[in-house]
Amino acid sequence: MNILYDEHLDGALPPTDKADVLQRLQQALPDMTLLHREEDLRPFECDGLSAYRVLPMLVAIPHTLEQIETLMRTCFELEVPVVTRGAGTGLSGGALPLEQGVLLVMSRFAGILELDPDARIARVQPGVRNLAISEAAAPHGLYYAPDPSSQIACSIGGNVAENAGGVHCLKYGLTVHNVLAVEVVTIEGERMTLGAEAFDAPGFDLLALFTGSEGMLGVITEVTVKLLPKPESAKVLMASFDDVEKAGKAVGDIIAAGIIPGGLEMMDNLAIRAAEDFIKAGYPVEAEAILLCELDGVEADVDDDCATVRQVLEKAGATDIQQARDEAERALFWAGRKNAFPAVGRMSPDYYCMDGTIPRRELPRVLKGIAALSEEYGLQVANVFHAGDGNTHPLILFDANKTGELERAETIGGKILELCVEVGGSITGEHGVGREKINQMCTQFQPDEITTFHEVKAAFDERRLLNPGKNIPTLNRCAEFGAMHVHKGELPHPELPRF
């Protein structure tokens, strides 16, 4: 395997002459917006993970496909790295700029190109907001299913890059299950269409490979998504528990009973109290945990499912079960959940949001483990999460102004993710790896597997110019992180290149 030794990948990139790059890009693309002064670059220094900030060398804001092709070709020739940014709402620093790189901003690609209600597809540009697709489809009784919490602001291109999830993903799938095709431009400036409107495509499944690839394989320039019919009816049950582990077990029981809820969310006491204080959603503040379970579909079907879920919840030890009486109460129940993060933010100067995914059956064990870590390190942890798909979001509360609290929060966070991996889960459910969790990738994967990722990356971008230093760690980084066993200074596979 021919992967080059590249010691600068994780840190400082080779020195680039900013004035020279600027001039070359201005020559090649006289009509493209190109920002280079510090005050213009400042707004782009971070994405939704604002703890990490880097001023990009240059910001490019193209408005035609041809400009993107030329931009990529020029950066490829100059060997200047490119980071692509959607709406900048990502929570793992996937769009964190590089000091020596170009930040490609896709905000001008914000058009819905085609909406075919009969074929139930929409062809859109990557800068279109997630919610805008559902809004455009609403007159036809259709919607786009994946609904990250940021759906008002986040863009579909970023959703594809991160394989975004949301409350509805348990039943309706992640982004990868709802995208039919993407058009991409490679680092060499070539345009390709991956996937098709047709049900299957021959050759390797490059569409799935691109989905969730965090901007490391190419730039997404167009997305064709599936639209789904809006369910006829939706009802929500709220169950209270006097014990977090019992609530965790009930989640698995509901699925095992043959029900796939439209949403199945869990909150623990700390999260319940925070949300109730903020939203007045009618939550039981004395409960140790609540489950919110939404059933959707045809009316008769929903009624049947509600009855079944009630039985399962009673058997699992729920101390109280309420069904939202009307649409207004249903909206209120959800408002508490959807505002839980800002609600927790009101309780603590800082919090650190984790995103580990585990097999559902391990929920009780992992919740117990998180409680033990919280006690051991003396920091509160609130749990608010997509319980149905095992996607936990522990929020670690701390005060960055108190010495040592940030470090302790990071330690707990790392240990929670290791626990997720230990029980057969993964270090990210929907927020991506980005810059934030690159060290934990060393826990999740073996050196052989990480090498395979690098080899796949090299098939698209051998010069490693697309979003370097994100998503896939180098083996050297893993050795430094300590997750990999290093004996007398030797990596376990000394024959592997130490890129």
Nearest distance, CB of residue 391 and a second copy, angstroms: 6
Structure tokens at 304: 């049947």
Residues 368-427 contacting a second copy, CB under 8 A: 389-391, 424-427
124 binds a second copy (CB under 8 A): no
Residues 211-230 contacting a second copy, CB under 8 A: 211-213, 217, 229
- Whole-angstrom Cα Rg for the chain: 23
455 binds a second copy (CB under 8 A): yes
Residues 294-313 contacting a second copy, CB under 8 A: 297-298, 300-301, 304
Residues 469-488 contacting a second copy, CB under 8 A: 471-472
Residues 145-164 contacting a second copy, CB under 8 A: 163
169 binds a second copy (CB under 8 A): yes
Q: Site for a second copy (CB under 8 A): which residue of 196, 285, 372, 400?
A: 196
The span from the CA of 29 to the CA of 96, in Å, is: 24
Distances (CA, A) of 455 to 1, 8, 84, 110, 242: 8, 18, 21, 33, 50
The span from the CA of 158 to the CA of 128, in Å, is: 10
* Residues 101-120, mask of contacts with a second copy (x by CB under 8 A): ----------------xxxx
Give the residue among 169, 146, 92, 88 at the shortest CA–CA distance from 388.
169
Binding piece for a second copy, criterion CB under 8 A, among 26-34, 255-263, 271-279, 398-406: 255-263
Give the residue with the Cβ less far from a second copy, 349 or 424: 424
Q: Site for a second copy (CB under 8 A): which residue of 40, 114, 449, 490?
A: 449
Neighbours of 287 (CB within 10 A): 23
Give yes or no for a contact between 59 and 40, defined as CB atoms under 8 angstroms apart.
Answer: yes
Residues 44-83 contacting a second copy, CB under 8 A: none
Q: Site for a second copy (CB under 8 A): which residue of 235, 338, 457, 477?
A: 457
The span from the CA of 150 to the CA of 355, in Å, is: 15
Q: Site for a second copy (CB under 8 A): which residue of 199, 401, 403, 488?
A: 199
Residue 55 neighbours by CB under 8 Å, 6+ apart: 38, 41, 42, 45, 97, 99
The span from the CA of 152 to the CA of 289, in Å, is: 28
Helix (H) or strand (E) holding 41: helix 38-41
252 binds a second copy (CB under 8 A): yes
452 binds a second copy (CB under 8 A): yes
Distance of alpha carbon 342 from the chain centroid:
18
Give yes or no for a contact between 246 and 201, defined as CB atoms under 8 angstroms apart.
Answer: no
Instruction: Provide the 8-state DSSP code for 14.
Output: P
The span from the CA of 196 to the CA of 452, in Å, is: 27
Give the residue with the Cβ less far from a second copy, 21 or 255: 255
Give the residue with the Cβ less far from a second copy, 81 or 425: 425
Nearest distance, CB of residue 187 and a second copy, angstroms: 11
Give the residue with the Cβ less far from a second copy, 24 or 140: 140
Give the residue with the Cβ less far from a second copy, 57 or 417: 417
459 binds a second copy (CB under 8 A): yes
Instruction: Provide the 8-state DSSP code for 138.
Output: G
Nearest distance, CB of residue 225 and a second copy, angstroms: 15
